[in-house]
């Protein structure tokens, strides 16, 4: 019987979990995955043994343009020569803020940080100060909002969180306005904010986002869109522009700076100004981070946005995803496992399901598929079309998938233990290893 644990290596001796992001951990990849990735160019990465892989994870969705984009890197390097951080603000902070205010429909003001957790929690702090209320409604269908206590306390990974941290966090369901209406009815005049991703694996139902906007307006609550994934992928102006529903606050990150660390809290002035100097209300200590506006990262973001606009990157991403979904599903059907491995979702951010012989979602079979894709040179834990993925990359992926599907089909009939080389990948949020 295979061990429930992955082999321990030196990273685990000095880093809890062996990685600084749980999504990069050994328990999220098959046993034959490259242990360390050392460099990347375009849509390809190389490991510490100099093996090349075609990559669809794109740095956990950060590489909208592809690895090593010269325009973005040159902008960052030029700023590094001038200085990355000073004791007063720099003009690039204002210039990029103005660019984002012009781009993002909900944005009158913006605040920079380094990660998504910081800006989503800051959005809730503003909403509570603005409304004078405590409760927050979060969409429980969406996997991650923050590592801060208000959200982690609602998951199975709540060890170390103060008891009762979740008492002001109320769940509702995506595409189910009734579930949110019930929370408003149960907590009248007490809900400060409603937070969700405007879309994830698929489009929202017609009228759902509009209904959320109406509910928040009627009950005096702040509507927050977490656009960490949808921003700078669904549309250059965000999913709020794509769907035509404007939140009060929104958070962005991941693909905005092509791998450089930038996250953004954006929103209407009436709420955002509570973190500023020119109002008579009680002051909100919003975010104050030494590296929140690291200048070379902001220059990278400004350059990345220019490339996205000039090259119509969003259209390329959508077209790439559409082609990939269609061709992989055709290959799955041809292998006789149509419906067992299935690609779907919004084309700019597809996902795939792996099912067992009974048609049930299976982490073991998902691991097998990832294992066989890696065997044939493709890393595909996520499907993140980028500007660097083209017809050659799609064809290479389909070729690898055809071989992976053949093994998958055999495992369905002969048993997965014959083919799976290590333990199955595990949910990130779990109570025990």
What 3 state SS string does 343-396 have?
EECCCCCCEEEEECCCCCECHHHHHHHHHHHHHCCEECCCCCCCCCCCHHHHHH
Asked if residues 251 and 148 have their Cβ atoms less than 8 Å apart, the reply is no
What pLDDT is attached to residue 5? 54
The mean predicted confidence, pLDDT, of the chain is 94
In whole angstroms, what is the distance from residue 331 CA to residue 122 CA? Answer: 45
Mean per-residue pLDDT for 394-413?
Answer: 98
Enumerate the domain spans of the chain.
10-61+312-418, 70-310
- 10-61+312-418 topology per CATH: 3.90.1150
pLDDT at 149 > cutoff 60:
yes
Q: Give the whole-number percent of the chain exceeding pLDDT 90.
A: 81
Per-residue three-class SS string for 164-220: CCCCCEEEECCCCHHHHHHHHHHCCCCEEEEEECCCCCCCCCCCHHHHHHHHHHHHC
For the residues 89-107, what does the mean pLDDT come to? 97
Give the largest CA-CA distance in the chain: 71
Question: Which two tokens mark 317?
Answer: 């991403």
Report the CATH number of the 70-310 domain.
Answer: 3.40.640.10
Residue % of the chain over a pLDDT of 70: 98
User: In the numeric block, which tokens belong to residue 10?
Assistant: 């030196």
Question: What pLDDT does residue 249 have?
Answer: 98
Q: How far apart are the C-alpha atoms of 203 and 285, rounded to whole Å?
A: 35
- 215 and 247 Cβ atoms separated by less than 8 Å: no
Q: Reduced to 3 states, what is the DSSP secondary structure of residue 135?
A: strand
pTM above 0.75, yes or no: yes
HSE (CB half, 13 Å, CA atoms) of 263? 24
Helix, strand, or coil (residue 214): helix
């Amino acid at each position: 019987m295979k061990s429930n644990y992955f082999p321990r290596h030196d990273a685990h001796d000095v880093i809890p979990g062996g990685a600084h992001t749980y999504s990069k951990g050994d328990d999220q990849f098959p046993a034959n995955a490259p242990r360390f990735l050392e460099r990347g160019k375009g849509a390809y990465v190389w490991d510490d043994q100099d093996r090349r892989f075609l990559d669809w994870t794109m740095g956990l969705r950060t590489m909208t343009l592809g690895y090593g984009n010269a325009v973005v890197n040159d902008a960052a390097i030029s700023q590094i020569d001038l200085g990355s951080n000073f004791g007063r603000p720099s003009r690039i902070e204002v210039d990029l803020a103005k660019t984002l205010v012009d781009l993002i429909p909900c944005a009158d003001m913006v605040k920079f940080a380094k990660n998504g957790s910081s800006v989503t929690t800051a959005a809730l702090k503003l909403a509570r100060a603005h409304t004078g209320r405590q409760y927050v409604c979060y969409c429980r269908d969406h996997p991650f909002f923050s590592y801060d206590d208000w959200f982690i306390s609602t998951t199975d990974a709540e060890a170390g969180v103060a008891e009762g941290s979740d008492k002001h966090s109320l769940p509702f369901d995506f595409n189910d306005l009734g579930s949110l209406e019930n929370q408003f009815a149960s907590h009248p005049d007490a809900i400060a904010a409603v937070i969700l991703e405007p879309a994830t694996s698929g489009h929202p139902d017609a009228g759902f986002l509009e209904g959320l906007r109406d509910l928040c307006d009627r009950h005096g609550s702040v509507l927050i869109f977490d656009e960490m994934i949808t921003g700078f992928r669904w549309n250059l102006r965000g999913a709020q522009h794509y769907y035509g529903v404007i939140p009060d606050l929104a958070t962005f990150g991941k693909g905005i700076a092509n791998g450089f660390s930038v996250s953004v809290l954006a929103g209407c002035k009436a709420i955002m100004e509570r973190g500023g100097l020119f109002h008579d209300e009680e002051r909100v200590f919003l975010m104050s981070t030494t590296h929140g506006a690291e200048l070379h990262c902001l220059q990278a973001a400004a350059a990345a946005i220019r490339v996205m606009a000039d090259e119509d990157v969003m259209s390329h991403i959508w077209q790439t995803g559409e082609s990939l979904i269609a061709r992989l599903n055709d290959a799955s059907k041809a292998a006789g496992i149509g419906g067992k491995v299935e690609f779907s979702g919004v084309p700019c951010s597809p996902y795939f399901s792996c099912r067992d012989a009974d048609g049930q979602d299976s982490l073991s079979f998902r691991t097998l598929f990832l294992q066989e894709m890696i065997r044939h040179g493709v890393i595909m834990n996520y499907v993140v079309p980028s500007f660097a993925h083209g017809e050659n990359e799609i064809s290479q992926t389909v070729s690898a998938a055809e071989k992976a599907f053949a093994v998958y089909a055999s495992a369905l009939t002969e048993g997965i233990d014959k083919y799976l080389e290590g333990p199955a990948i595990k949910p990130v949020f779990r109570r025990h290893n």
